[in-house]
Amino acid sequence: MKITFYSFIVVSLFLFVTASCKKDKVTSILNPNCTDTIYFNQEILPLITDNCTSCHDVGNSTGYTFTNHTNISANASSALNAMRGDGFQLMPQNGPALHDSLIQKFNCWINQGKLNN
């Protein structure tokens, strides 16, 4: 009788624990709003060209050069922080801050692996 009672308790606890566990849908922790693929050549390069390369091209001494995928991706985190003003001077310098949607797009590109697509 004791073995049956203990077996009942163990089985009940097992069923309770497994029934209380549920599997939630996993969303991106880095950025849950990145549902569309961001393309470097169509979206990121024009964003950088329009807003950054007037100061950050090969011929200046700002410390960052943003003219191609290699140097944009290598400095992407710093560029994102500057776009947000997180520990860096807010960029673009002397201009209005970039629209949140552009910053979000750049952030998504980083989160998607900084692809050269």
pLDDT tens-place string over residues 72-94: 999 999 999 999 988 888 999 88
Q: Where are the domains of the chain?
A: 40-111
105: burial class by Cβ within 10 Å (0-12, 13-18, 19+)? middle
Q: What is the pLDDT of residue 20?
A: 46
Q: What is the pLDDT of residue 19?
A: 46
- Burial of 72-87, coded b for 16+ CB within 10 Å and e otherwise, reads bbebbeebbebbbeee
Q: What is the pLDDT of residue 78?
A: 93
Q: Which residues of the chain have pLDDT under 70?
A: 1-3, 5-32, 61
- Coil/strand/helix, residue 112: coil
Q: What is the pLDDT of residue 93?
A: 87
